[in-house]
Amino acid sequence: MNKVSTKLILLLTLSALAPMILFGIIAVRTSRDTARQIVAEENLQVARRAAHEIEQYIMNSVMIIEALAQNLAKTDLKPWQKERMVRNYALQFEQFQSIDLVDTYGRSIATSGLDALPQNKIREAAVQAALAGRIYRSEVFISKNFTPGMTVAIPLKVLGEFQGAIVGELNLIEMWRLVDDIRIGHEGHAFVVSKEGLLIAHGLNSAKEQVFRQERIGRLPIAEAALKGEMQSLVYPDQRGVEQIGVSAPITNLGWGLVIEQPTREAYAAATRLTYELTVLVLAFIFLMILVGMIGGKQYIVAPIRELIRGIRSVGGENLADKVKILTQDEFRELGDAFNHMTDRLSTLREDIRRNERVVFLGRIASGLVHDLRHPIKNLENSSRLLLRDSDDPNVREVFRGIVDREFPNLNRFFDDLHDLTRPSLLKPVSLSFSQVTKDLLEPLQIDPRCIVDDPDGPVQHPSKKESVRISVDITPPDLRVWADRFGLERVLKNLVINAIEAMPKGGRLLLSAKDTLSKESLDRLVEITVSDTGSGIPSDRLVNLFEDYTTTKRKGLGLGLATCKKIVEKHKATIEVQSRLDHGTAFILRFPYPQENP
């Protein structure tokens, strides 16, 4: 993933794959949901038809009893005729286990059996309801011979008056057969719940025992929906923990509910197979697209990029004669041609740059030479003019001798550094008296007409001109010493003092101070030297790069002085910083190591 070519191929592949993957996900989900919806609709249709058949089976039996009641309502029938009619109905319609005709007192008048049926709670409730003028249908019960039964009672009216009731005992074994015959696939089955929530029929042999116990399952969500008259489709785990898809259908006239269950692994087998096939197909397309993308990307994208990278590395190794070869007829070919043209131009420009570098290098040497020689030569010039003017004055001759003795060793040291330009000489720090360094530094300025140097031991001098620069020295304690190379330290201070004087063309004050202090970070003992002036100041935007080569705030000059100062200070493992405000002045703060030992 760290290669651009790999990222580009991956990006292009993903941009092509994203629609395919999205299409695959949508297609798989849609096909799965559609297949599941079809399964649910088909099972609902089966449940609706089965519920209708069960309802018709029960209602037909009730209608047979009603037909018998109409026939028995004829006034000219003899008792033996009524009994024969009852028996004929019982023989003709096998679903009736028995049929009884009772009078208004509940006494049996005619029966299909040899004897009248014994009284029980269900029979008594049926007779009472029929004698009250209502059609009665009892709950399904399990008879002594372990078959489902149901009691039906129809009021008997003769000439509009209640003359008794017909009580029929239905054998619902046929309903069990209907439920057993309901099969969805290999494992789908049905069961029937009464309006009281009792399980009255079940298509699984393993669940027959629950029917005999007449368990209440009306609280199951799918059974509740059926008893409420709703046709629904739900997915849920059954008592065995097997996930089922169940559909409900109400048996409206009876208040019962029919539920058809099928394990989802079977019901959704076709949907699962379709999902698998679609997934395989989508993955195959994705793999094919990745393969085509990789082959095409490697040939038309990766190969040109690698060739360009090889060419760039070759150019980085300064082999500008090497050319890239890109065979594709596209933008990469144009890029390769442009790259080859660029290397040709670079080869030409390199020779020009080498020539210019030699010229610039010589110019920098000359600029540094002029910059560092200007101050000592200027001092010699001023002292020479003073000597020519007052050659008989012994003090002047003494000053001249001191300047010559000091500046010529500086010039020799500078020439040695220039001679060893490729390997600059090392600094030789020693313990120096800062007051002596300051005295030697300011002595040439005493004969400079621009400056007035205050003598701490003598009277304050008044400037001869308004544009004069008054130079003051403050060293605390007076015998303060500093660990530095004498030539390097004088070179730094001389640059800073001359810059300060030039920053005050209309006159001002220059303060050269030094004090003993401690480092804030390491608490090491330091000598803090400050060169401050009241000149024009430095703009804040130039302070950041002030110590870089060729950075200057003067109209003339190449900007080498402060850069040289910083390099010398850093070689002493010292620091230099600047603080400045426009029209208020500038202060350079140097912090040198304290002498390691007293001389």
Whether 212 and 140 have beta carbons less than 8 Å apart is answered as no
Identify the CA nearest to 51 among candidates 193, 219, 244, 216. 193
If asked whether residues 56 and 187 sit together in one domain, one would say no
Highest mean pLDDT among 75-84, 154-163, 267-276, 505-514: 505-514
pLDDT reported for residue 599? 42
CA distances from 290 to 21, 142, 294, 300 (A): 12, 68, 6, 15
Q: Residues 328-353: what's their mean pLDDT?
A: 77
| CA 568 from centre of chain | 51
Distances, alpha carbon 13 to alpha carbons 293, 553, 557, 586, in Å: 6, 58, 61, 63
Closest CA to 12 of 386, 274, 297, 270: 297
Residue 591 has pLDDT above 90, yes or no: yes
Q: Is the same domain home to 25 and 118?
A: yes
CATH classification of the domain holding 478: 3.30.565.10
Same domain, 74 and 161: yes
pLDDT exceeds 90 at position 533 = yes
Q: Give the closest residue to 437 by CA, choosing from 498, 514, 511, 501.
A: 514
Reply yes or no on whether the pLDDT at 180 is more than 70: yes
How far is 183 from 203, CA to CA, in rounded Å? 8
> How far apart are the C-alpha atoms of 60 and 363, rounded to whole Å?
123
- Does the reported pTM lie above 0.85? no
φ, ψ (nearest 5 deg) of residue 504: -125, 65
Q: Is the model more confident about 293 or about 232?
A: 232
Instruction: Let me know whether 185 and 140 are in one domain.
Output: no
- From first CA to last CA, the distance across the chain in angstroms is 65
pLDDT at 406 over 70: no
Contact 310, 339 (CB under 8 A): no
Q: How many domains does the chain have?
A: 3
Residues 181 and 68 in one domain: no
In a domain, 346, yes or no: no
Q: Among 156, 173, 190, identify where a domain stops.
A: 173
Percent share of the chain, pLDDT over 90 = 13
Q: What is the pLDDT of residue 347?
A: 75
Give a yes or no: residue 411 inside a domain: no
Q: What is the pLDDT of residues 541-550, one digit of tens each?
A: 888 888 875 5
User: What tokens does 599 get?
Assistant: 């001389």
Q: Return the minimum-mean-pLDDT range out of 71-80, 194-203, 486-495.
A: 71-80
pLDDT band at 338 (very low <50, low <70, confident <90, very high): confident
Q: Calculate Rg over the CA atoms of the chain.
A: 59
Give domain status of residue 109, yes or no: yes
In a shared domain, residues 24 and 169: yes
Average pLDDT over residues 544-560: 58
For residues 277 and 559, the model is more confident at: 277
Among residues 236, 252, 269, the one where a domain terminates is 269
Residue carrying structure tokens 């048996």: 251
Note the pLDDT of residue 586.
Answer: 93
- Same-domain status, 169 and 182: no
The reported pLDDT for the residue numbered 452 is 86
When pLDDT is cut at 50, 70 and 90, the band that residue 579 belongs to is: very high
Q: How far apart are alpha carbons 298 and 5 in whole angstroms? A: 8
161-165, 309-313, 533-537, range with greatest mean pLDDT = 533-537
84 shares a domain with 59? yes
pLDDT of res. 422: 46
Please tell me the distance from the alpha carbon of residue 389 to that of residue 136, in angstroms, as a whole number.
153
Higher local confidence (pLDDT), 421 or 380? 380
Residue length of the chain: 599
In a domain, 103, yes or no: yes
In a domain, 38, yes or no: yes
CA trace torsion 87, 92, 98, 103 (10° rounding): -50
Closest CA to 323 of 304, 336, 335: 336
> Is the pLDDT score of 404 beyond 80?
no
Amino acid letter for position 310: R
Q: Are residues 493 and 551 in the same domain?
A: yes
Predicted confidence band at 413 (pLDDT cuts at 50, 70, 90)?
A: low
CA 348 to chain centre: 49
Structure tokens at 18: 């994203």
| 21-40 core/surface letters (b: 16 or more CB in 10 A; e: else) | eeebeebbeeebeebbeebb
11 and 103 co-located in one domain? yes
Higher pLDDT, 496 or 131: 496
| 515 vs 529: CA distance, rounded Å | 7
User: Which pLDDT score is estimated for 587?
Assistant: 94
User: Which of 147, 173, 199 is the endpoint of a domain?
Assistant: 173
- List the CATH number of the domain containing 134: 3.30.450.20
- Does residue 524 fall inside a structural domain? yes
Q: What is the DSSP string of 358-374?
A: HHHHHHHHHHHHHHHHH
Are both 450 and 436 inside the same structural domain? Answer: yes
User: Residue 438's domain spans which residues?
Assistant: 426-593
Residue 275 within a domain: no
Decide if 178 is inside a domain.
yes
Query: Does 182 share its domain with 136?
Result: no
